[in-house]
Every structure is written in C-alpha cells, then in structure tokens.
Structure 1
Amino acid sequence: MDKRIYFLMIISFVIGMVELIISGILDLIAGDLHVSIGQAGLLITVFAVIFAVASPILLVMTAKIERKRLTLVCLYIFLIGCIVTVFAPTFSILFIGRIILGISGALLIILCLVMAPSLAGEQYKGRAIGIVSVGVSASLVLGVPIGLILGTNFGWRAPFILITVLTALSIIGVHVFMGRITPKPQIPLRQQLAAFKNHKITLGLTTTFLYMTGHSIMYAYFKPYLEATTDFNANWVSVIYLIFGFAAVCGGGIGGLLADLLGSRKTMVIALAVFSALFFVFPYTTVFYPIFFLILILWGMLSWAISPAMQSYLIEIAPESSEIQQSLNNSSLHLGVAAGSVIGAGIVDTLSVNVIPFAGGLFIILSLITVVISVSSKKKTSYKTKNAI
C-alpha cells in the first residue's frame, strides 16, 4: 500500500485535534477572555456547523485544482487560523480564528478521505479510508485529554501552540513527500446532485446521521452516566475513557479491513446490528465489570468501524460522484454528533441520565433499518444508461 496514505492519516490527526481539543479548556478560555462558559461553548458549535456545511461546497468549488497544491493552500490557511487562535486578544478574534480553522479543516479532512483510496488502488480502498479514519478517531479521542493536560499546566493557548507546530511540520511533509495528484474530471454540480435521485445514496447518508446521533447521545453524557450507575472513582473514569479511545482508534482500521474482506454491505449490517444490541445490554452490565469492559471495547470499536465501510459503499454505488458523496457523508457524521448532543441534553434535563443508552439504541436501530433498505434495494439505472437504451 502507498506509504503516503499514512501521511494523510497524520494530517487528518492534526486537523481533527482542533475540533474537540477545546472542550476540556472552556473554563480557562472563559476566565481569560471574560466571557461565560456558555459563550465559550459557541467555539465548538461554530466549528461543528462549518465543518458539516462547508466541506461539500468547498469540494465542488475546488474540483479542478491539483490535489497537492490544494492541500498546501488549505494547510497554510489552517496555519493562519492557528496563529490567530494562539495570539487572540479577545473572544471575537478567537471566534474568527475558529471560523478560519473550521473552513480550512473541513476541506482538508475530506481531501484526505478522497485522496487515500485513489492512492491505494481498488483492492485496498476500504483499508485506505480506514487508515485515514484512524487519524480522525485518534484526534477526537486524544484531543480532549491533550488539551486538558496542556491547558491546565501551561494555559489554554498551549494546546494550540502544539497544533501550530504540527501544522507547520505537515506543510513541510507535503512539500517533501507528496507528489502531484491529479483531480478526477470535474462533474457538473447538477449531475452530482442528480445522484441523490438514487435512494440508496440518500439512505446511506441517513444511516450515518442516525447511528452517529445514537452514539453521541450516549458518549456526550457518558461521564455523568458512569457517575450515576457505577462506583468508579475519577481515576477509573479516566481509564475507561482511555480504553474506549484505544478501541475507537483500532475500530477505524478494523472497519476498513472488514470492508475489503467481507464487503461494505455485510460489514455495515453486521456492525449496526451488534452496535444497537450493545446499547440495550449496556445498562445491565454496570455491576459485572468484566462484561462491562467487553461491551465498552466493542462499543468503541464499532463507533468508528462503520464509517470506512460506508465510505466504500458510497463509492461502489456511484463512483462518478464519489467525492461529493464522501464529503456529504462526513457532513452527516458531524451533524449526527451535534444532534446527539442536543437530544442527550434534553433527555438528561427532563428525564434521567439512565435513559440515554436506550435512546441511543433506538437511533441506531433506525440506522440499521435504513442501511438494510439501502443495500437490499436495486441500484437505480443511471440517466446515461436509459438514454443509451
């Protein structure tokens, strides 16, 4: 497999760190810049929304640009966003920095996802996407603890100094190691959007949104859930998050491998069936620690194992518009994170934290239903094929 794919994984790790690294230092930012924690939380919201909306639009706008050049341009803009963030004297400037990071980061992540399978070749495309997903999942898992440790000891700007340095090293790496990558022939936007007349694609994107919503309902409020249902102390809670994180990182690679070995369709159906069952079993394992940790590891793995299989599936359905589909799938994932966090908040405030596994499980069951319908339905005949007939 092309070694440049692993470099794309490193880039995706650096970019992905920015998304959630700020979560553990909101109080430090609020205190230093004299805003409320709620206002500081808008820094997460604006990044997530931009990340979800910007990537498909930017991908279409930059379709003709050679990929190495485009990656470098985005990395330089991302570096500017890092510098603005590090030296931001006010909350407004910091907010602008987050917007710059969100726009450039959104396109960089999707570039890594679309370049990886083209570098790997047909037989390794699932594994290539899975490797890039390892970088994304590792950044999301490690971002919060890294931000918390550096922010607590050296101030809230310290994590962003680290990201600035890593971004600069990534720019050097792209200049030295990445060769020219010619973009695929541009497909008119109207023709790309026409792919959504194929309900297999629409159901696939809906599946991503639903399962990530279910996952986020549980994960966003996992700490209070543990505090309410177990006797684990703070140290054990940290260990649990580390175990989950390690499992999630492994899950991205395993999902890509299974997609290549079993096929994307079987991988998604099996993974979502097990995933949904886990959430309904989970509440009954909190007093049986060996089973609890087994379920925890499986949950972590499955939370990121489905994404590379879904990416491969979307490529198989309509390879001529695969880039825009992967971008929209990435958007569906982030919108699911946002929706799950909001729904989980409502459940915790109005019902009980004990309800969140069941609520999350319901959404994952819905995602299982949509993916079964998608993979079992016949592929819609393309417009060109109809005209040829």
Structure 2
Amino acid sequence: MDFRVFILAASTVIIGLVELIVGGILPIIADDMNVSIGTAGQLITIYALVYAIAGPVLLTLTAKIERKKLYLITLGIFFIGNVLMFMSPTYAFMMFARIISAMSAALLIVLSLTITAKIVEPRFRAKALGYIYMGISSSLVLGVPIGIVMTNAFGWRTVFLGIAVLSIVSFILISIFLEAVPTGEAQSLSVQIKALGNKKLAGAHLATMFMLAGHYTVYAYFTPFLETTLQLSSYWISVFYFLFGIAAVAGGAFGGGLAARIGSKKSILLILGAFAISLFILPYSTFSTIVFVIVMMIWGGLSWALSPPQQDYIIETDPVTSDIHQSFNNSALQIGIAIGSGVGGFVLGKTESVVSTATVGAGIVVIAFICAAISLKMPTQSNISNKESHSSK
C-alpha cells in the first residue's frame, strides 16, 4: 500500500477529532462559558450542519485549484479555527470558530478521499479508501474519550491547542511527501441536486439521517447520562467512552461481514431494528453496571455497523452516480448528527431528564427503519440519474 495513503488517513484522524470531541466535556465547557448543557450541545449541532452543507459546495467552488495546494491552504484554515477555539473568550466566539473548523474539515475529508483514489492503483483503490474511512470513524468515536482525558489533565482549551499542533505536523508531512495532484472533472451542483431525484436512494439517505439523529439524541449528552444514572467519576466516564469507541470501530467490520453473509438489504433492516431496541432499553439497564456495559457495547457496535451495507446498497442501486450519492449520504449523516444533538438538547431542557433522550432517540431510529423499508421495496429507478450524469458531460 502506498505510504501516502497512511499519511492522508492519519490526517483524517486529526481532522475528524474536532467534531465530537466536545461531547464528553460539555458540562465543563457549559460551566466555563456560563451556558446550559443543552446550549453547549449546539456546538455539535452547528458543526455538523455547516459540515453537511459545506462539503459538496466547497468542492465545486474549488474544482479548478490543484489538489495538494488546496489541501494545504484548507489545512491552514483548519489550524486557525482550532486556535480560535483555544482562545475563545465567549460562547458566540466559539460558535464562530466551530463554523470555520467545520467548513475546512468538510473540504479536507472529501479531498482526502478524492486524492487517495487518484494516487493509488485501481486494484488497491477500495482498500486504500477503507483506510481513510477507518481514520474518519476512529476519530469520531475516540475523540470524546481523548477529550475527557486531556481536559481532566490540562483543561478543555488544550484539547483544541493539541489538535492545532497536530494539524501542523500533518501540514509538514503532506507538503513533503505528496506530489502535486491535478484537478479532475467536477460535476456541477445542479447535477448533484438532480441526482436526488432517485427516490429509492433518497429513502436510503433519510434512513442514514434519522438513524444518526436518534443516535446523537443520546450520544451527544452521554456524559450527563452516565453522571446521572450511574454516578460515574470523570475517570470511569472516560473508560466507558473508550469501551464504546472500541465497539463502534469494530461495528464497521461487523456490518461489512454481515452484509457479505446475508446481503446489504437484510443487513440494513436488521441493524436498524436492533439499534432502535438497544437505544430503548439502554436507560433500563442501569440497574447493573455489567448489564449496562453489555447493552452499551451493543449500542456502540451497531452505531457504525450501518455504513458498509448502506454504501454497498447505494453502489448496487445506482453505480453510475454512486459517488454523488455517497457524498449525499455523508451529508445526511452530518445532518443527522446536527438534528440529534439539537433534539437531545431540547428534550434535556424540557424534561431535565437524560433518560428521556434514549426514548426519543429510539423513536427517531424507528423512523429510519421505516424509511429504509420503503426504500428497499421501491423499484430501481433505472437511467434517471444516469441520464443526468451523461447529459452533464
């Protein structure tokens, strides 16, 4: 495997850390900024929402800029965003810094994927992209426990200073080892939007969105959940987050293996159904720490198990424009995170009970199951998106 792929994968780990690393330290940030936990949770919401919109838009606007040059420029902006987070004097300033970080991160992740696809031989492309996705998922699930550990040791601001320093390391490695990467043909935003005319895949995107929304209704506020239901200390909360992260990373492999054995369509329904059940019973398992850890690990594993069969389903349904739909699916994921963290904050503010977030989250996942079932039953819309793709050339 080309070692440059591992450099890009390591870069995605650094970039991905920023999104959810605040999840485990929300109470500390809220206290320091004199806002409620629900309000602090909107730092996750705004990041995910901006990320979802900025990805395809910025990729189109920067289509004519040489890829390595664009990567380094964007990485510099990403560095600035994290320095601003470190220096933030007010909550409003933090929101501004998060927007800068989200826009730059969205473009960097897409560039990491597209550059990887260009620099490796076609026979190694799928495996190379797998390393990039592993970097993304690992950063998302392990960012929270890393944030907790660093915050407990040095304070929450050093978390973002550390990421800024790591981004400098990434900048140096990319500038030294990556050659100039020419631009390719970029499809216009109008073509990308028209691709959503495929109602079958639109249902798949909605399923992804609602699953992540249900998940983050709970996960974005998992720290206060653990503090309230199990009275855990900061040390044990970080341990529980690491266990969750291990399960989540393993869940990706489980989802891929399940799809290989029983097919992507059956896997999607099975994973969504089991995920809704695990979320619903989560607050009722706190009577025993052992039982709770088991349920939590199942929940964690299923949280990232949907991606492999979902991507396989997208490619199988519309192979010609699958790259566009994979981009939309990633945006749907981010919108789901934004909706979930927003809904969770609203529920927490209204009920003042972290337990209720699990019930609401499970209900949202049921909506995801319904969307997936409708999508799977719909006939394939042959040539609809294909015609749009060819007509744009």
Alpha-carbon spacing, 1:114–1:256, altered in 2? closer, same or farther (3 Å): farther
1:373 aligns with 2:371: no
Alpha-carbon spacing, 1:23–1:175, altered in 2? closer, same or farther (3 Å): same
The residue matched to 1:100 in structure 2 has which SS?
A: helix
- Residues 56 and 324 in structure 1, CA contact (< 8 A), matched pair in contact too: no
- Residues 128 and 256 in structure 1, CA contact (< 8 A), matched pair in contact too: no
The residue matched to 1:37 in structure 2 has which SS?
A: coil
Alpha-carbon spacing, 1:164–1:127, altered in 2? closer, same or farther (3 Å): same
- Residues 123 and 260 in structure 1, CA contact (< 8 A), matched pair in contact too: no
Distance in structure 2 (CA, Å) of the matches to 1:227 and 1:100: 32
Distance in structure 1 (CA, Å) of the matches to 2:346 and 2:333: 20
Pairing of 1:26-105 with structure 2 (within 5 A): 35-38=33-36, 43-86=43-86, 95-105=95-105
Paired letter, 1:248: A
- Residues 151 and 159 in structure 1, CA contact (< 8 A), matched pair in contact too: yes
Aligned to 2:327: 327
Moved more, 109-118 or 84-93: 84-93
The count of aligned residue pairs is 386
**Any gaps of 5 or more consecutive residues in structure 2?**
none
Aligned to 1:202: 202
TM-score (normalizing by structure 2):
0.81
Q: What is the CA-CA distance between 1:240 and the residue it aligns to?
A: 2.0
Q: What is the CA-CA distance between 1:199 and the residue it aligns to?
A: 0.7
Distance in structure 1 (CA, Å) of the matches to 2:115 and 2:321: 14
Measured on the aligned residues, the alpha-carbon RMSD in Å equals 3.6
Aligned to 2:15: 15
Distance in structure 2 (CA, Å) of the matches to 1:312 and 1:261: 13
Distance in structure 2 (CA, Å) of the matches to 1:126 and 1:296: 31
Alpha-carbon spacing, 1:193–1:318, altered in 2? closer, same or farther (3 Å): farther
TM-score (normalizing by structure 1):
0.82
Alpha-carbon spacing, 1:126–1:200, altered in 2? closer, same or farther (3 Å): farther
Moved more, 4-13 or 193-202: 4-13
Distance in structure 1 (CA, Å) of the matches to 2:139 and 2:387: 45
Aligned to 2:173: 173
Percent identity over paired residues? 39
Encode CA deviations 1:160-190: one digit per residue, 9 max, x unaligned: 2211221111122223333555555332332
**Any gaps of 5 or more consecutive residues in structure 1?**
none
Aligned to 1:187: 187
Pairing of 1:1-389 with structure 2 (within 5 A): 2-23=2-23, 35-38=33-36, 43-86=43-86, 95-116=95-116, 128-230=128-230, 235-256=235-256, 258=258, 263-351=263-351, 352-383=353-384
Distance in structure 1 (CA, Å) of the matches to 2:387 and 2:161: 56
Moved more, 90-99 or 355-364: 90-99
Distance in structure 2 (CA, Å) of the matches to 1:384 and 1:238: 46
Moved more, 174-183 or 74-83: 174-183
Paired letter, 2:201: I
Q: What is the CA-CA distance between 1:211 and the residue it aligns to?
A: 0.4
Paired letter, 1:377: M
- Residues 51 and 106 in structure 2, CA contact (< 8 A), matched pair in contact too: yes
- Residues 41 and 220 in structure 2, CA contact (< 8 A), matched pair in contact too: no
- Residues 131 and 252 in structure 1, CA contact (< 8 A), matched pair in contact too: no
The residue matched to 2:306 in structure 1 has which SS?
A: helix
Distance in structure 2 (CA, Å) of the matches to 1:229 and 1:161: 32
Alpha-carbon spacing, 1:165–1:232, altered in 2? closer, same or farther (3 Å): closer
Distance in structure 2 (CA, Å) of the matches to 1:45 and 1:356: 16
Moved more, 142-151 or 72-81: 142-151
Q: What is the CA-CA distance between 1:61 and the residue it aligns to?
A: 1.9
Q: What is the CA-CA distance between 1:371 and the residue it aligns to?
A: 1.7
